[in-house]
Structure 1
Amino acid sequence: MKKLFACLLVGALLAGPAHAQVEPIDGIAAVVDEDVVLRSELDRAIANIRSQYVGREDQLPPAAVLERQVAERLVLLKLQVARARDTGVRVGDQEVDQAIAAIAGQNGATTQQLVAQLAADGLDFEQFRDSVREELMIQHLRNRFAQSEIAVTDAEVDAALQAQAGGGQQYHIAHILVGLPEGATPEQINTAQQKIEGIKALLDRGEMNFAAAAVRYSDSPNALEGGDLGWRGRNEIPSAFSQLVAEMSPGEVTAPIRGPSGFQLVQLVDARDGSQAGTQMATQVRASHILIRTAEGTDPAEARAEADTLHARLVGGASFEELARTQSQDTSSQANGGDLGWFMPQEYGPEFATVLAGLRDGELSQPFQTPAGWHIVKLTGTREADIGDQSRRAQVREMLGRRKLEDRWERFVREMRNEAYVDLRASAPDDDAQAD
């Protein structure tokens, strides 16, 4: 069950208890607007991080630095959940149950087996549920943000497809970010520049490897993963350093780069041929759905109640196709009895994909919520297919949008952090990255 927490679940890893022997300590580690991070929460989160580095403890920063890094993650988690609540994001028990069932299913287990495994690992299931609920709320908030802020042009899709057809290179990259707030003062810019230059000097002298420096000094949310950004095509790399990366050798690190989020160091970890010649097989699903929209001015409770009523009628034997034609508010599929045709599971968003992953062919879902409203889905088929141009373009568009979202979302979260009242009561170590 090692993959249990990779599905949703930075928040679950951070917030859930690590081992039974970790005793909660009363006290407040941070005040975040009107919320708090308890000392016991912070200690459990640190213990979880340490458990992931068993045998590699030398890669972790000093205890005080690790405490600061993890405390910042918990602060950002609190801020995102609070913003989601303030903007009307709600996640019901059924949606949480479906997400947990999907997590269990992806790991070849039932929900009951997952509960037993969590207990064997000393993890509290109710706290796990709460963490899943919070991560789903943040997902909904990100989806709303993406819909309003992120656009991918046809020209960008064409360029990405051309690069794939030409067998363009792919690059495994990592980064270290020294963040700057919006409207940074000259003093803040100078301090950040000195810090990034100090980190680069440490790397050049061989006093620290890149991953360890990222864990210790980076302001990026992926700092504790060594700044790893994974494999990307050149078109997926921010234009500020895509040309540099293309000319680098594995292991090489750029000079400091000033970007919209602050100063960065980028390392090329490895490179490979990205050719996608031949057929491209993928898993497709066919499903039908009924949608009850939750537009502006609509009472969410009424929409949920209507979806629950329709689900009860379906369980009682009503025709899915007939109800979709007469009750669904999705005009594009209504006339077809709710049939969405064959599509990639992620094509209609992560909520759809999560629910579909937990269904068998012919099975009906419980009502679940997306930014569009409340859905009931029936999975009617699954197949392996050579995806056509339309599906390939949709995949590429989603991939480009996800990459754009990463940087925009990171800035959005940093703005929330800068605007919030945060009192960190954990120790704050001196930064030793300034010396050359």
Structure 2
Amino acid sequence: MKQTFALLLLAIAFAIPPLAHAQLLPQAAAGQGTTSQEQPLDRIVAVVEENVILESELDQAVQAVQQQYAQHPEQLPPTDVLRRQVLDRLILMKLQLQRADEQGIQVSDQEVDQAVANVAQQNKMTTDQLRAAVQQTGQSYAAFRQQLHDQLVVQRLHQSVVHDSVSVTDSEVDNLLNSPTYKAGEVHLAHIDINIPSGASATDIQVAAAKAKAALDAIKGGMDFNAAAIRYSDASDALDGGDLGWRRMDAIPPAFVDTITNMKPGDVSPALRGPTGFHIIKLVGERQPPKQIATEFHALHILIKPSAVVSMQQAEQKAQSLYNRLVNKHASFATLAKEDSDDDTTANNGGDMGWFQQNAWGSAIGQQIAQLKDGEVSKPFQTAEGWHLVKRLGERQTDVTEKAAREQARQAIGNRKAEQAYDDYLRQLRSSSYVKILVPALAKPDEGNAKASS
């Protein structure tokens, strides 16, 4: 549990810098017995649009990474490389938060409370225990909440960016499922990306190719792949060892599918040239999807909607009257549905909803259906649409493997498009924003010191 919690704090610590924590650091140092005259002055290491990154923020994030790898410090790159990697993440996070603010993206305190509760549940803690665990790491609980808040803001920004730019058609799903390269199942991958800057010269490409070769040589010489990713990769997940986790084969970029298909678990690919650089892939493992069986229900439905002339209370009274006729007078549910239901989808069919999985018609109806026995009619219940009555007709177990495969293929295509869309967005955001690194040792050798926004 401690390791899981530590990893969570690490991810937040270097991905989302606390906005006010830098100002607290001198006070924390003073509390440890250092006088204000003896405190080293904090300095700005980077200007990001109208914001800044302080050296104390960078130090804190770097220390969090080093603490995670305290047992295996040899897996970390040289300190100067590590500091550049972490600074890159802090810069990108600042830019995303600034852009979200410009778009008016907001997260409420209640949403942060729910995020805190989720973190506590994932770590099998109460919220009070989580608070104590955060404070034991030396971080203030307020800063932890701020970091969660910022993480939620960036998630909202991601959703807004990809929402209108990503769509998946039925023909795309058909093409994927019928493709010779399509392969069911999942693969666990890790990767090393060596970026080539946009507008790269021949020299830039040669430098990237040499770095990719050095990474491969290190792996062939016995270096752990994750350690090589930390040391050589330019990807945002380099400090996670390049671990991509489990992915469906249909979620893999087509350019890499052939290579992965011909690999065995443990194999490492050669350096593959892509539009943004060189990629080295390790196949960690693979597994086949199990047969998927789902519980389906068959039911009838009546909806009584409120309107300009029917109040919600009157709708409830009508639903109760229909319930009494169904239960006490044994009226036909199908007949009443045709005569009285306001559900345009089912009324003409006598309220017949067909066979469906539990929550296909919403969680409220799903909860009622699951509690009923076959042939039983629910008491009237309310949703935002109005008042409902449902009659459960049957229950069955259905093989939904093929249906699930289509849905997973659709999701995989959508995820791939969303990932590419947001990656393009971040590249454009980074290249068009004003970023000035004030400490020469922290600037990448292959990029200029400042970029002016258009």
Instruction: Give 1:226 shift.
Output: 1.3
Structure 1: which 4+ aligned runs deviate by more than 6 Å?
5-9, 159-163, 333-336
Change (3 A) 1:13 1:195: closer
Report the alpha carbon displacement of residue 70 of structure 1 after superposing the two structures with TM: 1.0
Offset of residue 13 of structure 1: 5.2
Q: For residue 69 of structure 2, what is the aligned residue in structure 1?
A: 53
CA separation of 1:196 and 1:182: change in aligned 2, threshold 3 A? same
2:216 corresponds to 1:200: yes
* Structure 1 equivalent of residue 261 of structure 2: 246
Once superposed, what is the RMSD of the aligned Cα atoms?
Answer: 4.0
Q: Alpha carbons of 1:167 and 1:184: their partners in 2 closer, same or farther (altered >3 Å)? A: closer
Q: For residue 338 of structure 2, what is the aligned residue in structure 1?
A: none
CA spacing shift, 1:140–1:210, aligned 2, 3 Å = same
Q: Quick one: distance in 1 between partners of 2:345 and 2:103?
A: 33
Equivalent position of 1:412 in the other structure: 425
Seen in structure 2, the aligned counterparts of structure 1 residues 41 and 78 have a Cα distance that, compared at 3 Å, is: same
Query: Matches of 2:6 and 2:417 in 1, distance apart?
Result: 25
> What secondary structure is seen at the aligned counterpart in 1 of 2:264?
coil
Q: Are the aligned partners of 1:250 and 1:269 in contact in 2 as well (CA < 8 Å)?
A: yes
Q: Where does 1:131-280 land on structure 2 (aligned, <5 Å)?
A: 131-158=147-174, 168-204=184-220, 206=221, 208-270=223-285, 272-279=286-293
Q: Distance in 2 between matches of 1:127 and 1:410?
A: 28
CA contact (8 A) 2:120 2:130 kept: yes
Q: Measured at CA, do residues 236 and 45 of structure 1 come closer, stay the same or move farther in structure 2, by a change above 3 Å?
A: same
Q: How does 1:275-290 map to 2 (within 5 A)?
A: 275-279=289-293
Q: Check conservation: 1:167, 1:276, Cα contact below 8 A.
A: no
SS at match of 1:108: coil
Report the more deviating stretch, 245-254 or 20-29: 20-29
Deviations 1:31-73 (A, max 9, x none): 2121111111111111111221131111111211111111111
Is the 8 Å Cα contact of residues 13 and 61 (structure 2) preserved in structure 1?
A: no
Amino acid corresponding to residue 262 of structure 2 in structure 1: E
Change (3 A) 1:411 1:387: farther
Which structure 2 residues correspond to residues 350-369 of structure 1 after superposition, within 5 A? none
CA contact (8 A) 1:177 1:264 kept: yes
Counterpart CA distance in 1 for 2:399 and 2:102 is 40
Q: After superposition, what is the alpha-carbon deviation per residue over 1:311-334, rounded to whole angstroms, capped at 9, x for unaligned?
A: xxxxxxx99x99xxxxxxxxxx99
Q: Greater relative contact order (Cα 8 A, min sep 6): structure 1 or 2?
A: 1
CA deviation digits over 1:63-112, x for unaligned, max 9? 11111111111111111111111222122222222222232233333333
Deviations 1:125-162 (A, max 9, x none): 11111111111111011111221222233244456668
Q: 1:268 to 1:390 in 2, by over 3 A?
A: closer
Selected match of 1:63 from 55, 73, 79: 79
Whole-Å separation in 2 of the counterparts to 1:181 and 1:281: 51
Match of 2:12 in 1: 11
Change (3 A) 1:7 1:40: closer
The percentage of counterpart residues that share the same residue type is: 37
Assess, with a 3 A threshold, how the Cα gap between structure 1 residues 421 and 429 changes in structure 2: closer, same or farther: closer
Deviation readout 1:154-203 (Å, 9 max, x if unpaired): 2444566689xx98353222111122344444443343333323433443
**Structure 1 residue 211: Cα displacement:** 1.8
Q: Distance in 1 between matches of 2:222 and 2:74?
A: 13
User: 1:12: Cα distance to partner?
Assistant: 4.1
Cα-to-partner distance string for 1:391-412 (whole Å, 9 max, x where unaligned):
6644543343223323332232
The answer as to whether partners of 2:14 and 2:86 remain within 8 angstroms in 1 is no
> Quick one: structure 1 residues 254 and 237, their matched pair in 2 at CA, closer, same or farther if it must change by over 3 Å?
same
What is the TM-score normalised by the length of structure 2?
0.64
The letter of the residue matching 1:99 is A
- 1:77 paired with 2:78, answer no
Instruction: Report if the CA contact (8 A) 1:151-1:401 is conserved.
Output: yes
Give the length in aligned residue pairs: 341
Secondary structure of the 2:227 match is helix
Unmatched segments (≥5 aa) in structure 1:
283-317, 323-332, 349-375, 377-384, 432-436
| 1:398 aligned to which of 389, 400, 411 | 411
Alignment of 1:87-166 (within 5 A): 87-158=103-174
Work out the CA distance in 2 between the residues paired with 1:416 and 1:334: 46
